[in-house]
Amino acid sequence: MPDTPGPGRPEPSDAELLRRHVAGDTEAFGELFRRHRDRLWAVALRTVCDPEEAADALQDAMVSAFRRAGDFRGESAVTTWLHRIVVNASLDRLRRRAARPATSSGDEQAFEALAAHDGDHARSTDTRLDVNAALRMLPPQQRAALVVVDMLGFSVADAAVILGTSPGTVKSRCARARARLLPYVAHLQGNRSAAERVQPGADS
């Protein structure tokens, strides 16, 4: 998340790379993107919940950021700005998908995936799969808030910039999302403590 290189790192800061890009350095933006691409990919993938659509959203976002970098005002960190563009592109993808009747049954599919998992949850080791299925059931705005704050570790203030809303709204969305996820991830918490005690299935 830091916008400037740590001590001992000779690389230019994010802001410097963006300046070079705007000044015509054809390599600078690519370097900036490579520096943050895993986190940007993560936010797109977790928000959109579909690899292909997430890839398209990320591409949209990066082309947009590339072209409009000259308008970056420096009011936030470069990473915050990049994440904001990715979240917007991701939510935009979701709105388009929601408008397509054929694929609007995502929630039902998520529920089915969860139900299928409940059967053998004591043996489940793929926490990631369960978390993704649970995240998918959240309304997109709540999901985006939770992804940015809980999964990526942004502060509420930065998340507010990324999500284009107030800190109070970010807190409210996170709170509602956590409460909503509670029933679905409780068994994972149980599994983790059970695994730590080396008693698989003890809490099932």
Partner 1 sequence: MRGQMAHLDAEVLAEFRMGLIAGRRGAAITAHLAGCDRCTALGDQLAGVSALLASVPLPAMPDSLAQRLDTVLAAEAARPEQVKTDQAERGDADHPAHPATDRTRRPRLSLPRLSLRVLAPVAAVVVAAGGYGLSQLAGSGGQVTASSGSSAGAEANTSGSRNAASHTS
Q: Binding to partner 1 (CB under 8 A): which residues in 113-172?
A: 127-128, 131, 139-142, 146, 150-153, 163-165, 168-169, 171-172
Window 42-81: residues binding partner 1 (CB under 8 A): 42, 45, 51, 55, 57-73, 75-76, 81
DSSP 8-state class, residue 147: I
> Whose Cβ is closer to partner 1: residue 4's or residue 64's?
64
Q: Which of 1, 115, 157, 186 binds partner 1 (CB under 8 A)?
A: 186
Kindly tell me which of 8 and 126 has the beta carbon lying closer to partner 1: 126
Tell which one of 1, 115, 157, 175 touches partner 1 (CB under 8 A). Answer: 175
Q: What angle do CA 85, 173, 156 make, to 5 degrees?
A: 60
197 binds partner 1 (CB under 8 A): no
Secondary structure E strands in 62-184: none
Give the residue with the Cβ less far from partner 1, 108 or 126: 126
Select the residue interacting with partner 1 from 111, 113, 178, 194 (CB under 8 A).
178
Q: Determine, following the binding rule CB under 8 A, whether residue 37 of this chain makes contact with partner 1.
A: yes
72 versus 111: smaller Cβ distance to partner 1: 72
Rounded to a whole number of angstroms, the distance between the first and last alpha carbons of the chain is: 39
Cα torsion angle, 129, 130, 136, 140, sign: negative
**Count of C-beta atoms within a 10 Å radius of residue 149:** 23
Distance of CA 98 to the CA centre of its chain: 19
Name the minimum Å distance from CB 112 to partner 1: 21
Q: CB count, 10 Å around CB of 98?
A: 12
Q: Least Å distance between CB 201 and partner 1?
A: 19
> Could you give the CA distance from residue 9 to residue 165 in angstroms, rounded to a whole number?
34
What count of other Cβ atoms lies within 10 Å of the Cβ of residue 2? 9
How many chain residues touch partner 1 (CB under 8 A)? 78
